[in-house]
Chain A
Amino acid sequence: MTGAQNEYDAIVIGGGPNGLTCGSYLAKAGANVLLLEKKWETGGGLATDDFQTPFRFNLHAIYMMMAELMPPYDDFDLANNNVEFIRPETQMAFHYDDGKALVFYTDPKKSAESIAKFSTEDAKVFEKMYAEFKQICDEILIPATYVHPIPALDNVELLEETELGKRCVEVSEQSPESMLDFYGFKDPRVRGALLYISTMWGLDPDSTSVGYMIPLYVYRMLNASIVAGGSHTLSSALNTPFKANKGHIIECADVTKIIVENNKTRGVRLADGREFFGKVVVSTLNPEQTFLKCIEEEEIHDEDVVDAAKLWKWEGRSFFTAHFGIKGNAPEFKAAAFNPDVNIALVHVFGFETEGDVKRHIAEVSEGKVGKPAGHFTCTTQFDPFQASPGPYGPLHTLRYETWASYEIDGKHWDEMKHDYRQQCYDMIGRYSTNLGEAKLLFKFAHSPLDIERRLHTMKKGSIKHGEYDALQMGYLRPNEDCSRHRTPIEGLYLAGASSYPGGMILLGSGYLASNVVAEDLGLDKWWTPPDYIGKAQEKGYIPS
């Protein structure tokens, strides 16, 4: 390419949510930043595509758990930059074969009323648990998401010094399954629903190693929002400050080499031979890509970093996502006779009657079986008219069905199963709906775990969070203890992907934290200040200062 310069202050590898976040903070701080994206479009998991149909399909990320709490939201004034988070009051509906439904709301009192239809005792327990989870998350876990981690034992020591901290430690020792007994839930459906919420993004029912994720998942999934106009709107909004501050993006740029000389990062080389040089390189790739593929082993003088990358574990459970565009009314449900609110729920869960169903399904998926597509469903257009065309000749609605699935499946290939399984997903919605049969199905698409890996190259084996959430890969150990604070043992190399602290799921945390240390090391003007909730948590001694 003519005229393109090849010397930058910072080079960011990967234009996903974290890469864009990091790039934007640095560019606005005055750095000359180059962002290299392997695909033709930035955004990574913030992918919304219409495939040129009248429907906008959220191909990957859809439920925003942190939304306005993410530091870039205020720092880049995203509210005035086309971003609106839509958070329906009726959050999740669990549909049952007998026509009943358990409904969760942003308002815990209303959730408790719904639970009381199954068990009045459990309703009280839920209120207690929710209040505790909320406080722990608001005061400790959410602030901790946006500061650099400290070693687990130091963290426990710190938390033990306060009442709330102690409770946080106790709760964090639970597994999704034992949490149900820890609080004393009795009703099988209530237990099943709560188990689903805490395991839906990949935790195993009996895993005790990252128990602090349970309050986060439960509290934040019951306060989930979608991005108006589709998840990709957030990507476009993160692009804007980057470009407005003269950040340079090159798409279709396949980085194959991070150039390291004498333990110092010099720049990167692309598959097509182009080289770019920078004072720092920020990688949002996964550990395998960064430390095993892009850098020669002998150039890394830290065995632990290499070993951690070699031992890196991908998630055992991925997703199969089916997308439908229909002409007809938004689906209404049989269970509306039991509780009319099910018709306005953001997330519908089908196919799980009890906690046994949840465990069985997870076990099946772990064994590589392709069972019935029990999972969760959202009709985005019900809450956001921009996710389908207003017409003419509608109404048009966009449906998204997601179910756990294994990357490797028993003796079959996903490409051959895809169309059939997609139909099974549609049928699954139809089973619980009263009116889907009247709608005309205009478009249907689907992505298997294999497709996730092929479309989003950092998500090996369909691992949406770039690697398993377990004790050895989380907190201070994500992706290893030498790199979790976003600097690496190689001078000038930084990490900012979902495989770094705090992890994936559209937190923008890793990109935010990386930009903090890069700005310090480059001597840039840190024009931003941390969110207020961080200062408060530090004052109370809940998180390190």
Chain B
Amino acid sequence: MKDYDVIIIGGGVAGGLPAAAYLQKAGARVLIVDALQELGHHVKTNEVWPGVLWTPCAAGSFIGNSPAMADLDLENYGVNLKLSPRGTGITFPNHKSLFIAPYDIDGTCADIARFSEKDAERARGILERYVEKIIDFNDLCFYSIPTPEKQEKMIEMAAYVWGVDVESFREMNAFELVETVFESDEVQQTFMCVAGVQTLGDIGEPCQGAFAAVAWIMVIPGQLVGGNHNLAHAYIRIFLEHGGTIFRNCPVEDIIVENGVAKGIKIHDDAVVNGGETIMAKNAVITNAGVPESFRMIGEENLTKADPALAQRMKYWDMASRASFVSLWVLKEFPKWKSMQWNPNISKMDFFYKGWESIEHGKRWHMAQKSGDTYGALGGICEAVMHQVTDETAASEEGYVSLRVEEVLPFYWRERGGGSGKADIEMWDEKRDEILEKQTDMFADLIENFRDLILEKYSITPLDLWRGDRAGVAGNGVGGSYTGNQWMLERMPYRMPIQNLYCCNGVWPIQLSWGAGGYNVACAVAEDMGIRDQSWWKAKPVEWTLQNLGRLLVEKNPYWVE
């Protein structure tokens, strides 16, 4: 058996894979163990209909934010990033649409002006300050391990970008922030839609709600040509080229802790290779397996001994209030959105949202979401992706395309009207088709002749996502819900209270294809090993993307309507 300096449990693109690639390239001897065959589970690209690609979970690729684009030369390893000139968009039930594209401030503001001249002026200011601060913001808020001092600076910077005074900002949730700054309902929704799916902060909580709305505008949505799984391919290539080792189909039974030090792992008996064996790591064990699974592997006793408060937080870590329900429709032709009559821009958006009926509906949706009312939360904000808009290779030769939609819902089904109150999880297996039908109705209201275009459709429930990926308990793909006490400094520590044990899932900022968690944990481990000083390890986030913006922005695509 080989010796390893670092063992990484879980080879996903948010944490394990970027950490592995950085550390192996920096000279550590790294082993990745993954319970699945295919690494990068959340960026997996599928071909459900021949020639039609879709990436169900990480449907947008946010790798453009990552310093790894430059440090690891990802493009040369197959990451072919494309950006829509329309940035992030939203289409509303009233058949209007909007977009926010910091690369096109004039265009964005002209579009907003159709709703409100005043809002357009406000948006211009925000976007100009955005351009000024995007690198610093990413550097401070995402690609860096948070501290109380940094948190103060983050809030100051967020308030500055939005032109709101810091003290008021601290008191605002996302709704209050957008209602303070903008007057048009549609503009309000547009500026909080990404945060609307309850990530980077609970939109209903003061400060973190406002911060989430600001922070999301700092994330650059893109698509990788040939599917977002190419990011996993690239990391694996770099990792193997530098001599890394991968055990696939290899669940981990335990993280071995002796005298307060993490020594290695014990592999599950059923693993395809090395079943039942113990493997030691000289310097670090990194868990990317999610909080509940990490808790199980480390053991309550070991954790309690090291840090009783953390042990309790991990034991009761909330995964369940943000469950992803993902659906796919394969369509015979590119859909005619009804909002195209208002503005054809929607045809150029690969990553967009279906808005609420109104911002008031958003508040009601948020209440249903928070109170665990799965029925009531259905049909709220949806994240939609059409890969083909920026990646022609995702369409079949016949021109068939995919529409992918995600709703986030409370995981536990509770009976309404004074039932037993017992949470039913298997309800997802019963309700899947009904929800898909409801969603189909919803999109039939937004798209001309939608039903006639459908070649194939299916849904993946939160229960399926959990079954498919043990790190994604309760269908939570972001490392745990964002709630009052699971935000920023109260997310998982990168350096665990057990020596040589590190964590990169459930950490701040968020499990996302941008690999911030993996980058930050790699920094921590490399510093502790004394190998952080590498000539190639120096890029700032977003820098590479801004330098190459001209060629990353797609100029034309057969599906665009002018």
Residue of B nearest to A325 (CB): B464
B226/A251 in contact, CB under 8 A: yes
B458 proximity list for chain A (CB < 8 A): 51, 443
Bound state CA distance, A321 and B42, in angstroms?
Answer: 26
A233/B248 in contact, CB under 8 A: yes
A56/B37 in contact, CB under 8 A: yes
Q: Is B75 an interface residue (CB 8 A)?
A: yes
Bound state CA distance, A51 and B48, in angstroms?
Answer: 7
- Can you list 24 A-B contacts (CB < 8 A)? A1-B75, A4-B76, A39-B226, A41-B45, A41-B229, A48-B37, A52-B460, A52-B465, A53-B460, A230-B37, A233-B248, A243-B237, A244-B240, A250-B78, A252-B225, A252-B230, A386-B37, A389-B467, A392-B425, A393-B425, A393-B429, A415-B455, A440-B429, A455-B47
Q: Is A345 an interface residue (CB 8 A)?
A: no
Given the known interface contacts A454-B50, A455-B50, the answer about A236 and B37 at a Cβ–Cβ threshold of 8 Å is: yes
B225/A392 in contact, CB under 8 A: no
Please report A residues at the B interface, Cβ cutoff 8 Å.
Answer: 1-4, 39-41, 48-54, 56, 79-82, 84, 228-230, 232-233, 236, 240, 243-244, 246, 249-252, 327, 385-386, 389, 391-394, 396, 415, 440, 442-443, 445, 447, 450-451, 454-455
Q: Is B378 an interface residue (CB 8 A)?
A: no
Q: Could you give, for residues 217-251 of chain B, a 1 whenever the CB lies within 8 Å of some chain A CB and a 0 otherwise?
A: 00000000111011001001100110100111110
Q: How far is the CB of B113 from chain A (nearest CB, A)?
A: 38
A229 proximity list for chain B (CB < 8 A): 37, 248-249, 272
Q: Is B273 an interface residue (CB 8 A)?
A: yes
Q: How far is the CB of B391 from chain A (nearest CB, A)?
A: 9
Q: How far is the CB of A443 from chain B (nearest CB, A)?
A: 7
Residue of A nearest to B48 (CB): A51
Given the known interface contacts A40-B229, A243-B236, A455-B47, the answer about A82 and B246 at a Cβ–Cβ threshold of 8 Å is: yes
- 15 new A-B pairs (CB below 8 Å) besides A51-B48, A80-B273? A41-B227, A49-B47, A51-B56, A52-B44, A81-B273, A82-B247, A82-B250, A82-B272, A84-B272, A84-B273, A229-B272, A240-B246, A246-B241, A440-B429, A447-B50
B272 proximity list for chain A (CB < 8 A): 82, 84, 228-229, 233, 386
Q: Could you give, for residues 240-282 of chain B, a 1 whenever the CB lies within 8 Å of some chain A CB and a 0 otherwise?
A: 1101001111100000000000000000001011000000000
Residue of A nearest to B248 (CB): A82
Which residues in window 431-472 of B have CB below 8 A to A?
432, 455, 458, 460, 463-468
B53 proximity list for chain A (CB < 8 A): 40
Q: How far is the CB of B81 from chain A (nearest CB, A)?
A: 11
B273/A52 in contact, CB under 8 A: no
B50/A451 in contact, CB under 8 A: yes
Residue of B nearest to A242 (CB): B240
Partner of B467, one of A39, A54, A230, A232: A54
B467/A392 in contact, CB under 8 A: yes
Q: Is B73 an interface residue (CB 8 A)?
A: yes
Residue of A nearest to B251 (CB): A390
A327 proximity list for chain B (CB < 8 A): 429
B38 proximity list for chain A (CB < 8 A): 50, 232, 236
Q: How far is the CB of B342 from chain A (nearest CB, A)?
A: 33
Given the known interface contacts A40-B229, A53-B460, A233-B248, the answer about A393 and B273 at a Cβ–Cβ threshold of 8 Å is: no
A451 proximity list for chain B (CB < 8 A): 50
A52/B37 in contact, CB under 8 A: no
Q: Give the one of B38, B53, B225, B463 with max A CB within 10 A.
A: B38
B78/A49 in contact, CB under 8 A: no
Bound state CA distance, A129 and B396, in angstroms?
Answer: 48
Bound state CA distance, A394 and B429, in angstroms?
Answer: 11
Partner of A243, one of B80, B229, B240, B466: B240
Q: How far is the CB of B279 from chain A (nearest CB, A)?
A: 13
Q: How far is the CB of B131 from chain A (nearest CB, A)?
A: 24
Bound state CA distance, A14 and B248, in angstroms?
Answer: 24
B465/A251 in contact, CB under 8 A: no
A244/B37 in contact, CB under 8 A: no
Partner of A251, one of B233, B246, B273, B425: B233
Given the known interface contacts A251-B230, A440-B429, the answer about A454 and B396 at a Cβ–Cβ threshold of 8 Å is: yes
Bound state CA distance, A53 and B468, in angstroms?
Answer: 6
Which residues in window 370-429 of B have CB below 8 A to A?
393, 396-397, 425-426, 429
Partner of A393, one of B226, B237, B463: B463
Partner of B46, one of A51, A391, A392: A51
Bound state CA distance, A1 and B75, in angstroms?
Answer: 7
Bound state CA distance, A252 and B230, in angstroms?
Answer: 10
Which residues in window 29-75 of B have CB below 8 A to A?
37-38, 44-48, 50-51, 53, 56-57, 73, 75
A1 proximity list for chain B (CB < 8 A): 75-76, 80
Residue of B nearest to A452 (CB): B50
A40/B226 in contact, CB under 8 A: yes
B467/A52 in contact, CB under 8 A: no
A80 proximity list for chain B (CB < 8 A): 273
Q: How far is the CB of B1 from chain A (nearest CB, A)?
A: 10
A84 proximity list for chain B (CB < 8 A): 272-273
A246 proximity list for chain B (CB < 8 A): 241
Bound state CA distance, A451 and B226, in angstroms?
Answer: 19
Bound state CA distance, A3 and B243, in angstroms?
Answer: 22
Bound state CA distance, A392 and B319, in angstroms?
Answer: 15
Given the known interface contacts A393-B429, A440-B429, A454-B51, the answer about A252 and B248 at a Cβ–Cβ threshold of 8 Å is: no
Q: How far is the CB of B358 from chain A (nearest CB, A)?
A: 32
A394 proximity list for chain B (CB < 8 A): 467
Q: Is B326 an interface residue (CB 8 A)?
A: yes
A440 proximity list for chain B (CB < 8 A): 429
B56 proximity list for chain A (CB < 8 A): 51-52
Q: How far is the CB of A26 from chain B (nearest CB, A)?
A: 16
A3/B233 in contact, CB under 8 A: no
Bound state CA distance, A443 and B458, in angstroms?
Answer: 8
A447 proximity list for chain B (CB < 8 A): 50
Residue of A nearest to B45 (CB): A40
B467/A3 in contact, CB under 8 A: no
B51/A393 in contact, CB under 8 A: no
Q: Could you give, for residues 10-45 of chain B, a 1 whenever the CB lies within 8 Å of some chain A CB and a 0 otherwise?
A: 000000000000000000000000000110000011
Q: How far is the CB of A505 from chain B (nearest CB, A)?
A: 22
Bound state CA distance, A440 and B464, in angstroms?
Answer: 14
A391/B467 in contact, CB under 8 A: yes
Bound state CA distance, A228 and B273, in angstroms?
Answer: 10
Q: How far is the CB of A451 from chain B (nearest CB, A)?
A: 5
Bound state CA distance, A50 and B56, in angstroms?
Answer: 11
B46 proximity list for chain A (CB < 8 A): 49, 51-52
Q: How far is the CB of A63 from chain B (nearest CB, A)?
A: 18
A389/B270 in contact, CB under 8 A: no
Residue of A nearest to B275 (CB): A84
Q: How far is the CB of B164 from chain A (nearest CB, A)?
A: 39
B57 proximity list for chain A (CB < 8 A): 52
A393 proximity list for chain B (CB < 8 A): 425-426, 429, 463, 467
Q: How far is the CB of B276 from chain A (nearest CB, A)?
A: 14
B240 proximity list for chain A (CB < 8 A): 240, 243-244
Partner of A40, one of B230, B236, B429: B230
A252/B76 in contact, CB under 8 A: no
Q: How far is the CB of B472 from chain A (nearest CB, A)?
A: 11
Partner of B48, one of A228, A415, A445: A445
Given the known interface contacts A391-B467, A443-B458, the answer about A249 and B37 at a Cβ–Cβ threshold of 8 Å is: no
B226/A233 in contact, CB under 8 A: no
Which 6 pairs between the two chains have the least Cβ-Cβ distance? A454-B50, A54-B467, A40-B226, A252-B226, A389-B467, A243-B240
Bound state CA distance, A71 and B248, in angstroms?
Answer: 22
Residue of A nearest to B391 (CB): A252
Bound state CA distance, A328 and B527, in angstroms?
Answer: 49
A51 proximity list for chain B (CB < 8 A): 46, 48, 56, 458
Residue of A nearest to B394 (CB): A40
Bound state CA distance, A251 and B248, in angstroms?
Answer: 22
A79 proximity list for chain B (CB < 8 A): 273
B326 proximity list for chain A (CB < 8 A): 52
Q: How far is the CB of B313 from chain A (nearest CB, A)?
A: 23
Partner of B241, one of A54, A81, A230, A243: A243
